[in-house]
Amino acid sequence: MAGVASGEAACNSARQTGGVTDALAAELSAAMAPDRVRSGPLELTLYRRDASLLEGQPGVVCFPSTTDEVQAAVTIARRHGRAVVPRGSGTGLAGGAVPVGVDGAEPVVIVTTKMDRVLEIDADARVAWVQPGVLNLDLSRQVAHLGLHFAPDPSSQQSCSVGGNVANNSGGPHCLAYGVTSAHVLALEVVLPDGSLALLGDLDPEPPGYDLRGAFVGSEGTMGIAVRIAVRLSPDPPAVRTVLVDFASIETAASTVTGIIAAGLVPAALEMMDARITSAVEDYVHAGFPRDAAAVLLVELDGLPAGVEAATQIVADVAAANGARGVRVAADEAERALLWKGRKSAFGAIARIAPDYYLHDTVVPRTRLVEVLSEVYEIAARHRLLVVNVFHAGDGNLHPLLVFDRREPGVMARVLAAGTDMIAACVAVGGVLSGEHGIGLEKRDHMGLIFSDDDLDAQRRLRLAFDPEQACNPHKVLPSGSGCGDLQSVPAGAWI
């Protein structure tokens, strides 16, 4: 991520003349109910950003409600030489849904929020077909009476869409044992960037051909728009234990994580919160989180009762061996829900510390957690910033949050510099750029840190098979370079 783009660029974001955009909006309005096409300046402002700090500029925003309307929107946009930008709920943190066009033409943003129906549930096969705008938590709620749920559970699950989950291959605390979104998607119906409709994957275990389903999941809106998604539903576990472990140091918490994995356990979830976030959360939910702990671990064990009891004991033993101050096992469902509420409202609780935050998402080998965490604190101190850590420790997925007040002069530059240093520290121990939030615009220019030009070229070949004209969510994920002309490294029109 960088500041305002410099230089005269091939793709500078000169505003379209009203007439051209009007003709486009009129055609889109004819293809779907006119009130589902928006091009007024004020309305467009709402769609300039997602939950990241980046901003772009849409040309027109539309809200199709059927597959036909999505196909029409894509076709019309392309006829007018516009790129299309798929968008779900806009909770993405890497700028994936931030609208950036090509050749100075602002893109058409296609929002899926009006496609919010669960279409079909097959409880026997444990599969549901859903529209992309269904909210993650709504899906689990709608199948709860069958003893089933949708396993990926991002902290944003009350507001993020299943389509967004698919595009970002999102994770959540319970993905440690059960896998990220990709493991829970069987098939996708996708409107390709040329407006045609393709089925990727199928409901049977071995559909013929390449795993196009797998290739599409995680493509961040650059390979088409998912309009129908077949998700795998998971059976609710018969037994669950949720354990809160309290530590006097970050190091002992981190070595407990390593110890739990090394003991041969795969907990359903294994989350860490440091001192600052633990007190902020406690102020917020009053769940009895220890305010004086240097760190806490929230560990969930699930499965059959005997295995769960045995695993809970192992967790307690490993924690004790690492010097934990206390182990609290949730006594009932209400206590369990309260502990999770604390974890999942961590980002909301940040507001009690400072008005703005910048959340990073990287993954490191789990055995390197201790050293990387101490480096994260050092980096923040070096840049005179406050950092809090609340993250998916079990799979080594760090989420350092830099908290700040953007009104403070010069603070943004320090935030960005600290972020870049943290990424470098993670890469240095064999880590990767993102575990669940994606690359989007945010980390696009860091891709060269872990991939060679040849590696990136291979990824580009896949993208070009789906989107030969690079018209679907252009400028995202892959740095510009071979195959993309001479675009500058940060597209104009996207800034923070």
* Phi, psi (degrees; rounded to nearest 5) at 466: -80, -35
Q: Which is nearer to ligand FAD, 153 or 246 (CB)?
A: 153
- Using CB under 8 A, which of the segments 135-143, 178-186, 267-275, 287-295 binds another protein? 178-186
**Residue bearing tokens 């539309």:** 62
Partner in contact with 266, chosen from another protein, ligand FAD, none, beta carbon below 5 to 8 Å by kind: another protein
Q: Which does 96 bind (CB under 5 to 8 A by kind): ligand FAD, another protein, none?
A: ligand FAD
The answer to whether 395 contacts another protein (rule: CB under 8 A) is: yes
Q: Which of 67, 76, 68 is nearest to 28 (CA)?
A: 76
Say whether residue 107 binds ligand FAD (CB under 6 A): no
Does the protein bind another protein through residue 122 (CB under 8 A)?
yes
Phi, psi of 252 (to 5 degrees): -70, -30
Residue 104 contact, options another protein, ligand FAD, none, Cβ 5-8 Å cut-off depending on partner type: none
C-alpha angle with apex 86: 470 to 13, nearest 5 degrees?
Answer: 60
Could you say whether residue 180 binds another protein (CB under 8 A)?
yes
Query: To the nearest whole angstrom, how small is the minimum distance from the Cβ of residue 387 to another protein?
Result: 21
CA 362 – CA 367 distance, rounded (Å): 15
Task: Answer whether 216's CB lies under 8 Å from 223's CB.
Answer: yes
Which parts of 40-151 fold into alpha helices (H)? 41-45, 67-79, 136-143
**What are the tokens at 83?**
């790129």
Q: Which phi-psi region, left, alpha or beta, contains residue 348 (left: φ > 0; alpha: ψ -120 to 50)?
A: alpha
x/- track of binding to ligand FAD for residues 372-411 (CB under 6 A) = ----------------------------------------
Subset of 51-110 contacting another protein (CB under 8 A)? none
Sites for ligand FAD among residues 177-196 (CB under 6 A) = none
- Which two tokens mark 218? 């995680």
Residue 439 touching another protein (CB under 8 A):
yes
Residue 86 binds to ligand FAD (criterion: CB under 6 A):
yes
The answer to the question of residue 91 lying near ligand FAD (CB under 6 A) is yes
Nearest residue (beta carbon) to ligand FAD? 164
**Long-range own/partner contacts, residues 150-158 (CB < 8 A, 24 or more apart):** 150/184, 150/231, 150/233, 150/234, 151/175, 151/178, 151/179, 151/183, 151/184, 151/232, 151/234, 152/180, 152/181, 152/184, 154/436, 155/343, 155/344, 155/346, 155/347, 156/51, 156/89, 156/91, 157/344
> In this chain, which of 437, 460, 463, 475 binds ligand FAD, going by CB under 6 A?
437
Closest separation in Å from C-beta 163 to ligand FAD: 3
Choice between 84 and 411, CB closer to another protein: 84
Binding another protein (rule: CB under 8 A), the pick from 168, 252, 420, 480 is 168
252 or 473: whose CB is closer to ligand FAD?
473
Say whether residue 206 binds another protein (CB under 8 A): yes
Q: Which residues pair with 389 in a beta bridge?
A: 400
DSSP state of 366: G
If one asks whether residue 450 binds another protein (CB under 8 A), the answer comes out as: yes
